[in-house]
Structure 1
């Protein structure tokens, strides 16, 4: 129950943010809720899935936080309302952000 509540709360808070790193942080909270929910099942496959998700999450979320830092450094802001047109200003970073976002969504590349 706590895992599901954490998952829902983190997701809700994430979509309400305008700061790029806050969005990623609340997204991580939501994913930790999902991991807690998986572990709550107590089955071998659920534990395996939780461990796999932890490793996967660490990989793509680390990339996304790095990209957020690069964007903040280059533009001077993390406010997503002011970050339009980044693909033309930072094409390599935008491409890497797309790959990391697809990984977060579970899209195979």
Structure 2
């Protein structure tokens, strides 16, 4: 009887956690660097309004760079830090850490959640 109650509680928790994990994965897709497909690190805004990491903002050719997304040329001095994205990254990392901690206590696997590809 006690085992059934634990199973029901675990299933209920999984039903609650599934949508949260789905939205967390969607957020991760939005916070990925388009060059290396990893979570952004020190995001910078290009003049073309694309976002890149400071460490992967393009390959220099005579102090000129090209956007990895659209190819628009820019100069390094044109890069601007995106502080509000840094704040989102911190929130994302905190939520992800909490979800991971919760998963350790239940039989829930983040890989069970399918994420639709963004259009």
TM-score range, shorter chain: 0.3 to 0.5
Using the size of structure 2 for normalisation, the TM-score is 0.37
Larger radius of gyration: 2
Query: Which structure shows the higher strand fraction?
Result: 2
Query: Which structure shows the higher helix fraction?
Result: 1
